[in-house]
Amino acid sequence: MMAAGQAAVHGSEVVLIEKMKRLGSKIAISGKGRCNLTNAGDIADFISYYPGNGKFLFASLKEFDNQALIGFFKGYGVKTKIERGARVFPEADDSEVIVNALKQFLGDAGVKVILGQTAGRVITEDQKVRGLELKLSHEVLPADAVIVATGGASFPRTGSAGDGYAIAEELGHKVIHPLPALVPVRTLEQWPEQLQGLTLKNVNASIWVEGKKKAEEFGEMLFTHFGISGPIILTLSRTASHALSVGQNVEIRIDLKPALSYEQLDLRLQRDFEKYQNKQFKNALEDLLPKSMIPVIVALSQIHPEKAIHQVSKTERTRLCRLLKELLLHITGTLGMGAAIVTSGGIDVKQINPSTMESRLIRGLFWAGEVIDIDGVTGGYNLQAAFSTGFKAGKAAAHYVRTAV
Ligand SMILES: Cc1cc2nc3c(=O)[nH]c(=O)nc-3n(C[C@H](O)[C@H](O)[C@H](O)COP(=O)(O)OP(=O)(O)OC[C@H]3O[C@@H](n4cnc5c(N)ncnc54)[C@H](O)[C@@H]3O)c2cc1C
């Protein structure tokens, strides 16, 4: 939508093909229906929030940054507000205001919108775009330029089912294998099910691949019937997804008391044990853990639940301390593309000119959004990348049609 509108604003006659019956299905569900459209942080820091190919976005984020995006929506009457982690949301707490603003933009720019039609092949001649074939009717729409903004392969019920990858491969583009990212993960251990619905705040989770620590995140996580989720787990899931796809062993270790060192936690346990010396072990952890977690930790500690606290040995206490600092979960998989917020992988950035979003292989073929091998962490970075690359692709495609065709 951003790409189509910009191409039209810059003088092109534009047709937007959308395979769903409505525009912006994914935007509508984004940010739990509130649309975290961008982040208010310093744009210079944005690159680091796209693991992998962040640098590719340098030019597009520079040309159309977070302030420009906020200003764009303000122009359509959308007021925004900033929340925790500098996340930007519409003041109305409703993603539909974003979709409606984009629709109005398309209308004002004179873009012809065709709904319920699936784009198929891009027709080329001498490595130049000549048109676009619709999938079912095989009708060919003549075109001097095509912008492919079909999204990733995650959450396919919103229409983004990875169609752009087939278009790319047919034209000789390399597609980096798409994997689910920002996705809940499954655990080998069954005990998370007992805790489903429990949120832990201010914990530290680290991810280990083949015994080596790869990343860690501090914040909030959630136990579910299949394993774990929540903001810090979603962020770590990209590493899990990549490692699992090549058969590597993945663990997540949760530090339930990240503010305390092992020694400090041990002193804390000693104080608690002193206070509750005549209680049974299972009744002595209330100051330390959420109630629902106590039976799980007791079982994992291998200390008899009914053992009197004054009988708990130093070795047992050390083991408990370690358990609280390194609660181990073996990761067996992710919830897959159906539940992934974003796709890691897509069109190889080496084959796209970052200043124009044009293919380096086919003239007049442009790429925008999540179809490209770019994925960001949570916080508004994915939509900003889609809008910024869309802005650039639209403008550059119009320029190409004006000057090079
Ligand atoms: C549940 C959820 C919540 C999210 N929340 C946020 C958030 O709050 N903030 C954030 O920054 N990011 C969020 N994201 C990620 C963000 O929504 C995407 O990164 C972004 O929408 C990508 O934009 P896009 O235009 O590239 O692709 P999409 O938004 O997926 O749009 C692609 C469009 O192309 C259409 N299409 C696909 N194939 C064809 C075809 N062959 N012919 C015609 N049309 C086709 C699709 O129907 C779709 O409408 C969320 C994602 C999900 C799944």
Give yes or no for residue 351 CB within 6 A of ligand 1: no
Residue owning the nearest CA to atom 53 of ligand 1: 341
Give yes or no for residue 159 CB within 6 A of ligand 1: yes
What is the Å distance from ligand 1's center to 356 Cα? 21
Give yes or no for residue 29 CB within 6 A of ligand 1: yes
What is the Å distance from ligand 1's center to 27 Cα? 6
Within 8 A by CB and 6+ apart from 107, the residues are none
pLDDT-based confidence at residue 117 (cuts at 50, 70, 90): very high
Give yes or no for residue 26 CB within 6 A of ligand 1: yes
Do the bridges between strand 146-148 and strand 365-367 make them parallel or antiparallel, or are there none, so unpaired?
parallel
What is the Å distance from ligand 1's center to 243 Cα? 25
Return the pLDDT at 102: 98
Instruction: Please report, in angstroms and rounded to a whole number, the separation of the first and last CA atoms in the chain.
Output: 23
Segment 352-384, tens digit of pLDDT: 999 999 999 999 999 999 999 999 999 999 999
Domains of the chain: 2-178+345-403 (3.50.50.60), 184-335 (1.10.8.50)
Prediction pTM value: 0.95
**Nearest Cα to 129, choosing from 141, 116, 138?**
141
Residue 258 confidence (pLDDT) above 80: yes
Residue of 82, 94, 382, 391 to mutate, ligand 1, most atoms within 8 A of C-beta: 382
Return the pLDDT at 405: 74
Segment 127-145, tens digit of pLDDT: 999 999 999 899 999 999 9
What is the Å distance from ligand 1's center to 122 Cα? 21
Mean per-residue pLDDT of the chain? 97
Q: Cα 137 to chain center, whole Å? A: 34
Give yes or no for residue 342 CB within 6 A of ligand 1: yes
pLDDT-based confidence at residue 16 (cuts at 50, 70, 90): very high
- Give, as one character, the DSSP assignment of residue 358: B
Q: Cα 140 to chain center, whole Å? A: 35
